[in-house]
A = this chain, B = another copy of it.
Amino acid sequence: MVNHDQCMNLDPVFELIGKKWTGLIIHALLKESKRFSELHTTIPSLNARMLSERLKELEEKGIARRTVYPTTPVRIEYGLTEKGKALEPALLELSKWADDWIHE
């Protein structure tokens, strides 16, 4: 059973993954790092400006990481940090709940 203190630390988590698109971006990066264009294709209804904004926020929060490969042309990939990957169990439980209760 989740106790009261656990409850209070949930607020920032809800705020984080509740922000429009954030949860989907984290999920899209769980399997592998992706380039901006690949991410943009994975979530078509998300415009480029918003995707860029959300990625910056996720970097600032230490959940996503941006890697620049010095190739020609330069290759930039976005991936999850350990902190980001650690969200997978919660995403799985949320997805199971959605399967059971939203798509009955």
Q: Determine if A18 and B14 form an interchain contact, defined as CB atoms under 8 angstroms apart.
A: yes
A64 to chain B, nearest CB (A): 13
Q: Determine if A90 and B88 form an interchain contact, defined as CB atoms under 8 angstroms apart.
A: no
Looking at chain A's contact residues, the main secondary structure is: helix
Number of copies: 2
13 contacts between A and B (CB under 8 A): A1-B88, A2-B95, A7-B42, A9-B103, A10-B98, A12-B98, A13-B23, A17-B17, A89-B93, A89-B96, A90-B90, A90-B93, A92-B93
The interface of chain A, by Cβ under 8 A from chain B, is 1-2, 4, 6-7, 9-15, 17-20, 22-24, 27-28, 30-31, 42, 83, 86-103
